[in-house]
Amino acid sequence: LPQVMKVFNDKKMKNRNTTGQFKRQKSEFFVQQVLINLGVIFFLTLSLIPCFLLIISLWRHNKKMLLNATGFRDPSTEAHVKAMKMLISFIIFFILYFIGYAMEISSTVLENKLMFICGMTTSVIYPWAHSCILILGNSKLKQASLQVLQQLKCERQ
């Protein structure tokens, strides 16, 4: 975002026909963002590979546990299923974050405001939604957050 603001501020300050210079700055910005994101994509794949391997391992372990389970509701099985749901949600939101970020970058080059807003919204969903899923998935965190919300409600009144 600072790079985008620099390009637009430079254009406003010069007040002359600088179309070529503006296009060059936009292309430089695009190249910089692509190079930065190549590094980020490396770390994305580095974190997604263990997540997929862990999901596969949990799924196989869960199948074995279901075959050997004596009761219908085994707490250990439920914990494994919950862990798989958390990991899958993390992967989905993480991928959506990068798609939104890519939309933001490309919308800057294409000067498409709607695409920028959609990209910004998509990338902002990741930290918010993932935190909510983690809190709602863990009973202790859920109780603690409800207590905090109740205290905030009492202090407001």
Q: What is the CA radius of gyration of the chain?
A: 23
**Tens-place pLDDT, residues 41-93:** 787 788 888 888 888 888 888 788 777 766 666 677 777 778 888 888 888 88
pLDDT of residue 149: 85
Q: What is the CB neighbour count within 10 angstroms for residue 77?
A: 17
Q: What is the pTM of this model?
A: 0.61
H/E stretch holding 70: none
Domain residues of the chain, as ranges?
Answer: 2-156
Q: What is the torsion angle, in degrees rounded to the nearest 10, for the CA atoms of residue 67, residue 70, residue 75 and residue 76?
A: -40
